[in-house]
Amino acid sequence: MNLGRKHVFAVLIAAGMAFSSTAFADDRTAEEILEDINGLAYPTYDGERGDDQAFRKRFFELRGALDLVKAAYILELYQVDPDHEKVAAMLPERWRILGADDKRKEVAKSEMEEIIASAPDSELAGEARYAMAMNVVQENMWGEEKDLDKAKQAVEVFRKAMPDDERGARLLSTLARAYEDGSDEQIGIYQTIVANYPSDKYAGGKLRQVKGLGKPFDLEFTDAITGTTITSEGLKGQVVIVDFWATWCGPCVAEMPQMKELYAQYHDEGVEFIGISLDQPEEDGGLEALKKYVQENEIAWPKYYQGNGWASEFSSSWGINGIPTLFAVDRKGNLHTVQARGKVEELIHELLAD
């Protein structure tokens, strides 16, 4: 992107014109536009400066500005070559960028509606339908103004229009998180996914999570470090925090110091942690990575090395599709919650007092 176009975009964005259909006057090829998109240099976040408010402000302002430039380029690509193979993947990104701002989300909505009306059976119309449904779901899941009926209606509109599209399962899974764990509504949603989307890898496990609350949490494995056999029966009488994690997972590693502090503070009071690793297969270095991390960071609690990454049988059976995920098990060995992340200490106090 040469200096002249940088100046052009700065003026367009400042004037609120970055999304106008007349924003681009020069005749460029799709390849030239894609070259500009690929050439956008996003800043790298420096975690060591995370407490520097001025740095954070500049970082997110720059990312936001570059996102707007990217969104404008994507529109230009669509206008130049609407049938280009990259358009169906890139326009949803433009809509996501616009949807982050209340002043621009209506522009995105209008674009999606126009595409659906003009070419209802096209791949791009499918992308538009999905983006519109997900936007409505996410906007109505949380907060004082949430409207779950509106969210459900948006999902059903998508499923009716595209009954064979597997993204219906993704919409339903997102909606399910808005309901109380174990509620009839949540269970019903997961049952719908299992019945209608057999290729979904996680809904059965999610259903197991919500139906398993208050029931025994069965577990048996050999500690990857000590070789000791760990069983749910042997853990009874203790409060157990089950941490699904991996050494390659940034958020997991970032939270480990706090986990160590909590373990040191409460272990002697009857609290055990169990680390369930989603590290890669042994032949890919997963077991070695786990052992090295545990040794270097002095992680004292038992580790269940499953040995098959995301496809590991135990974690998959519990619907784990994002880490870190933490469960809490009470002294009787019953699953208390599958949403323990961020409130481990609070749950420890609650379950020790029970």
Q: How confident is the model at residue 205 (pLDDT cuts 50, 70, 90)?
A: very high
Domain annotation for the chain: domains and CATH numbers = 3-209 (1.25.40), 220-353 (3.40.30.10)
pLDDT for residue 181: 83
φ, ψ of residue 204 in degrees (nearest 5): -60, -40
Q: What is the pLDDT of residues 147-198, one digit of tens each?
A: 999 999 999 999 999 999 999 999 999 999 999 888 999 999 999 999 999 9
- Residue 289 has, within 13 A of its CA and on its CB side, a CA count of 19
Mean pLDDT of all residues in 251-269: 96
Q: Could you give the angle at which helices 344-353 and 250-266 cross, rounded to 10 degrees?
A: 30
Mean pLDDT of the chain: 90
Question: Using 50, 70 and 90 to split pLDDT, how confident is the model at 26?
Answer: low
3-state SS, the chain, equals CCHHHHHHHHHHHHCCCCCCCCCCCCCCCHHHHHHHHHCCCCCCCCHHHCCCHHHHHHHHHHHHHHHHHHHHHHHHHHHHCCCCCCHHHHHHHHHHHHHCCCCCHHHHHHHHHHHHHHCCCCHHHHHHHHHHHHHHHHHCCCCCCCCHHHHHHHHHHHHHHCCCCCHHHHHHHHHHCCCCCCCHHHHHHHHHHHHHCCCCCCHHHHHHHHHHCCCECCCEEECCCCCCEEEHHHHCCCEEEEEEECCCCHHHHHHHHHHHHHHHHHHHHCEEEEEEECCCCHHHCHHHHHHHHHHHHCCCCCEEECCCHHHCHHHHHCCCCCCCEEEEECCCCEEEECCCCCCHHHHHHHHHHC
Report pTM: 0.76
Over residues 316-329, the pLDDT tens digits come to 999 999 999 999 99
**Res 11 pLDDT > 60:** no
